[in-house]
Structure 1
Amino acid sequence: MTKRELVVAQGKREKVLKLKKLRVKRRNVLILAVAMFIANVAFGMAFPYLSVYMKVLGASMFMVGLLSVAFNLTSTVFQYPFGWLSDSTGNRKGFIAFGVASIGIFYTAMAFVSSPSGVLILRTLQGIFGSAMTPAHSALISELSTRAGSIFGLFNSIENAGFMVGNFLGSVIVSYLGIRKLFVLSSFLLFISAGIVLFIREHPAGRRPFLGIILVREGRESWRATVKSSAFKRLMRGYLGLFYVTVFLVMVASGQFYSVSSVYFRETFGEWSVGVIFGIESLAAALTGYFLGKLIDRHGAKRFYLIAIAGYGLAFLLYAFVKNVWLVFGVAFLSGLKWVMTINSTSAYVAQNVKASERAQGMGLLNAMMSLGWVVGPLLGGYLSGISFTLNFVSTLVPLGLAFVLALRLPG
Structure 2
Amino acid sequence: MTADASDDASVLAPFRQFFALERDVLVLSLAMFAFSLAFQMTSRYVPEYLNVLGASAGVIGLYGSVGNLVSAVYPYPGGALSDRIGSRLALTLFGTVATAGFLLWYLASFVPTISVPVVEFALPVTGTVAVGGAVEPWVWLFVGLFFTQAWKSFGLGATFAVVKQSVAQDRLAMGFASTEVFRRIGFLLGPLLAAGLLAVAADFVTGFQWILLVAVAFGAVATVTQHVRYDASDDTIGESFEGISGVVADLRAMPATLRPLLVADTLVRFANGMVYVFFVIVVTDFLAVGFDIAGRSLRPDAFFGLLLGVEMVVALLSMVPVSKLAERTGLKPVVAVGFTVYALFPLLLIFAPADQWVLVLLFAFSGLRFAGLPAHKALIVGPAERDAGGRVTGTYYLLRNALVIPSAALGGWLYGSDWTLSTGVGTIAAGPKLAFAVASAIGVVGVVVFLAFGREFEAYA
TM-score between both structures, scaled by the size of structure 2 = 0.74
For 1:79, give the aligned amino acid.
Answer: P
Aligned match of 1:409 in 439, 450, 453? 453
Aligned match of 2:70 in 66, 71, 74? 74
From the superposition, tell whether residues 171 and 331 of structure 1 become closer, same or farther in structure 2 (CA, over 3 Å): closer
Aligned match of 1:282 in 312, 316, 323? 312
How many residue pairs match? The answer is 380
Deviations 1:323-382 (A, max 9, x none): 2432332221111112331x2222010132222222112222343355446523212322
For 1:245, give the aligned amino acid.
Answer: V
Alignment partners' CA distance in 1, 2:218 and 2:327: 33
Alignment partners' CA distance in 2, 1:78 and 1:206: 21
From the superposition, tell whether residues 178 and 312 of structure 1 become closer, same or farther in structure 2 (CA, over 3 Å): closer
| 1:64-213 pair list within 5 angstroms | 64-89=60-85, 91-113=86-108, 114=111, 115-127=137-149, 131-146=153-168, 147-174=171-198, 175-176=200-201, 178-198=207-227, 199-204=229-234, 207-208=237-238, 210=240, 213=242
- Segments of structure 2 that go 5 or more residues without pairing to the other structure are 5-16, 112-136, 291-299, 417-429, 457-461
Q: Is the 8 A contact 1:283 1:336 kept in 2?
A: yes
What's the offset of the Cα at 1:122?
A: 2.3
Alignment partners' CA distance in 1, 2:28 and 2:311: 23
Alignment partners' CA distance in 1, 2:401 and 2:145: 14
Alignment partners' CA distance in 1, 2:400 and 2:219: 23
Alignment partners' CA distance in 2, 1:380 and 1:229: 28
Counterpart in the other structure of 2:274:
256
Deviations 1:90-136 (A, max 9, x none): x1122222222211111112222322222212213444676321211
Structure 1 stretch displaced more, 53-62 or 97-106? 53-62
From the superposition, tell whether residues 374 and 285 of structure 1 become closer, same or farther in structure 2 (CA, over 3 Å): farther
Q: Is the 8 A contact 2:101 2:148 kept in 1?
A: yes
Alignment partners' CA distance in 2, 1:19 and 1:264: 45
Q: Is the 8 A contact 1:152 1:290 kept in 2?
A: no
Deviations 1:296-328 (A, max 9, x none): 233211121122222233433432433243233
Alignment partners' CA distance in 2, 1:82 and 1:344: 21
Q: Is the 8 A contact 2:31 2:222 kept in 1?
A: yes
Alignment partners' CA distance in 2, 1:318 and 1:159: 26
Q: Is the 8 A contact 1:154 1:289 kept in 2?
A: no
Alignment partners' CA distance in 2, 1:228 and 1:352: 20
Counterpart in the other structure of 1:220:
none
Alignment partners' CA distance in 2, 1:100 and 1:318: 36
Alignment partners' CA distance in 1, 2:431 and 2:56: 20
| 1:253-402 pair list within 5 angstroms | 253-266=271-284, 267-271=286-290, 272=300, 273-323=303-353, 324-341=355-372, 343-369=373-399, 371-372=401-402, 374-386=404-416, 387-402=430-445
From the superposition, tell whether residues 151 and 121 of structure 1 become closer, same or farther in structure 2 (CA, over 3 Å): same
From the superposition, tell whether residues 200 and 129 of structure 1 become closer, same or farther in structure 2 (CA, over 3 Å): closer
Q: Is the 8 A contact 2:91 2:151 kept in 1?
A: no
Alignment partners' CA distance in 2, 1:319 and 1:228: 38
Alignment partners' CA distance in 2, 1:202 and 1:360: 16
From the superposition, tell whether residues 92 and 230 of structure 1 become closer, same or farther in structure 2 (CA, over 3 Å): farther
Root-mean-square deviation (CA, aligned residues, Å) is 2.8
Structure 2 counterpart SS, 1:322:
coil
- Segments of structure 1 that go 5 or more residues without pairing to the other structure are 1-17, 215-224
What's the offset of the Cα at 1:206?
A: 5.9
* Structure with the larger strand share: 2
Counterpart in the other structure of 2:246:
227
Structure 1 stretch displaced more, 198-207 or 33-42? 198-207
* Structure with the larger helix share: 1
Counterpart in the other structure of 1:42:
38
TM-score between both structures, scaled by the size of structure 1 = 0.82
For 1:132, give the aligned amino acid.
Answer: F
Q: Is the 8 A contact 1:153 1:294 kept in 2?
A: no
For 1:396, give the aligned amino acid.
Answer: A
Identical positions, percent: 20
Q: Is the 8 A contact 1:269 1:325 kept in 2?
A: no
